[in-house]
Amino acid sequence: VFLSLQLFGTIVWILVASTGVPLPLLQGWVMFVAVTAWFLSIVFLCVFLFGYANRIAVNWNQTDFLFHGATFVFYFGAFLLQAGTTSLHHFPRKFNSTTQEKILADHEYNISIAASV
């Protein structure tokens, strides 16, 4: 389970980092969630691999449940923010400008959709 979380967290991290950042506050939260969940899952994996789980008196089933529950809530919030940023694709970057430059270019739009999913 931890390996799949690391894999998908890394993919989200790469996809969001490769897009332009038209709304830094929203996509900053997405990056924070992806990086934090990735780092914590690495820590949990190391705890189990090196046998520290046997030395620490914690209910690991409950800890695992709480970690994945919190990760779900944070990833769902990050999904909503990333999808909200993606939905602004057709709006112009500057409303008073004579050029019609979009907030997200077509390539960035496709990457942002992949990051949302």
Q: Which of 100, 69, 86 is nearest to 30 (CA)?
A: 86
**pLDDT tens figures, 63-105:** 989 998 998 999 898 888 878 877 877 766 666 656 666 767 7
Percent with pLDDT over 90 in the chain: 13
Q: Quick one: DSSP state of residue 1?
A: -
Query: Residue 80: how many CB atoms within 10 A of its CB?
Result: 13
* Token pair listed for 106: 């077509």
Q: Write down the mean pLDDT value for the chain.
A: 79
Query: Residue 23: how many CB atoms within 10 A of its CB?
Result: 14
Confirm if 9 and 42 have CB atoms less than 8 A apart. no
